[in-house]
């Protein structure tokens, strides 16, 4: 969506667009930070998008050969930046939400269903496991999911409580997944998020 003040006499101004909404991390900026696009490539995609309205990630794939998996990882990083944080040890869990995921799946995908908000299920995971959880819920859970993020320790302790499984422990969640989402460039220190 374009905001007012992004158009100049010379056409669309990507810098003005970023300045108009500084608190929101844009997918193009994430892709630049990840080294997938250069700043000039990002700006070119934004200009084309302004004219056709197609999704940024799709245009980046078509214009610059960015892989769909890389776009997905960038999107997960963008999502993680704006996702709420929680401590699942302090949450009230709904049995019907917990029943939607099997014990093995909860541990494998680091996916902890908490409750329903309307028709959407609130699911807890860590920033490093967000992409994995998104993929899992995309094929396993038919209703929309709202993701909240927590620390590996807190998620591990909650998984032990609600999905106890022999041989599993909270320490296992501190191992970074193969397709970890790198949040350090876009998120403040975890202690700052917990304090907020």
Secondary structure, 3-state, 5-30: CCEECCEECHHHHHHHCCCCCCHHHH
- 92, 189: one domain: yes
The tokens describing 102, both together, are: 């099997």
- Give yes or no: residues 75 and 137 share one domain: no
The pLDDT of residue 181 is above 50: no
Q: Which residue did the predictor score with more confidence, 12 or 67?
A: 67
Q: What is the tens place of the pLDDT at every residue in 55-71? A: 999 999 999 999 999 99
Q: 191 and 96, same structural domain?
A: yes
Judge whether 1 lies within some domain.
Answer: no
Report the number of distinct structural domains present in the chain. Answer: 2
Contacts of 89 by beta carbon, 8 Å cutoff, 6+ apart: 154, 157, 158, 161
* 78 and 94 inside one domain: no
Q: Choose the final residue of a domain: 55, 82, 109.
A: 82
Domain membership flag for residue 6 = no
Q: Tell whether 17 and 43 lie within a shared domain.
A: yes
The reply to whether 3 falls in a domain is no
Q: Give yes or no for residue 177 having a pLDDT over 60.
A: no
**Residues 76, 49 share a domain:** yes
Q: What percent of the chain has pLDDT over 90?
A: 53
Looking at every residue in the chain, the average pLDDT score rounds to 80
Residues 143, 96 share a domain: yes
| pLDDT tens for each residue of 67-82 | 999 998 888 888 888 8
End residue of a domain, out of 82, 113, 133? 82
Cβ proximity of 74 and 32 under 8 Å: no
> Is residue 29 very low, low, confident or very high in pLDDT (cuts 50, 70, 90)?
very high
Residue 5 lies in a domain: no
If asked whether residues 111 and 159 sit together in one domain, one would say yes
In this structure, is residue 2 part of a structural domain? no
130 inside domain: yes
> Do 94 and 171 have their domain in common?
yes
3-state secondary structure of 33: helix
- Is the pLDDT confidence value at 176 over 60? no
Domain for residue 51, yes or no?
Answer: yes
Taking 60 as the threshold, does the pLDDT of residue 3 lie above it? no
- Beta-strand (E) ranges in the chain? 7-8, 11-12, 112-117, 120-126, 145-150
Tell me: the pLDDT tens digits for 131-173?
Answer: 899 889 988 898 899 999 999 999 999 999 999 999 888 888 7
Of 82, 99, 123, the residue that ends a domain is 82
- Both 136 and 57 in one domain: the answer is no
pTM beyond 0.85: no
Clarify whether residues 145 and 53 are in a common domain.
no
Question: Across the chain, which distance is largest between two alpha carbons, in Å?
Answer: 65
Evaluate the CA torsion angle 32, 35, 39, 45 in order and state its sign: negative
Looking at the fold, whether 25 and 110 belong to one and the same domain comes out as no
Q: 125 lies in a domain?
A: yes
Which domain covers residue 74, as residue numbers? 11-82
């Amino acid at each position: 969506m374009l905001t007012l003040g992004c158009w100049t006499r010379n056409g669309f101004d990507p810098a003005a667009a970023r300045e108009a909404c500084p608190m929101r991390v844009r997918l193009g900026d994430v892709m630049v930070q990840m080294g997938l696009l250069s700043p000039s490539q990002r700006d070119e995609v934004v200009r084309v998008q302004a004219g056709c309205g197609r999704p940024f990630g799709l245009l980046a794939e078509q214009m610059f050969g960015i892989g769909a998996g890389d776009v997905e990882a960038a999107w997960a990083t963008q999502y993680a930046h704006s996702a709420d944080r929680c401590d699942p040890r302090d949450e009230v869990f709904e049995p019907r939400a917990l029943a939607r995921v099997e014990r093995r799946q909860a541990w494998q995908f680091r996916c902890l269903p908490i409750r329903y908000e309307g028709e959407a299920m609130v699911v807890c995971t860590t920033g490093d496991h967000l992409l994995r959880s998104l993929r899992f819920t995309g094929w396993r859970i038919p209703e929309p999911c709202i993701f909240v993020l927590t620390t590996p320790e807190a998620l591990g302790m909650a998984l032990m409580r609600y999905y106890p499984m022999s041989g599993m422990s909270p320490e296992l969640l501190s191992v970074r997944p193969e397709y970890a989402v790198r949040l350090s460039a876009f998120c403040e220190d975890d202690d700052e998020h917990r304090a907020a």
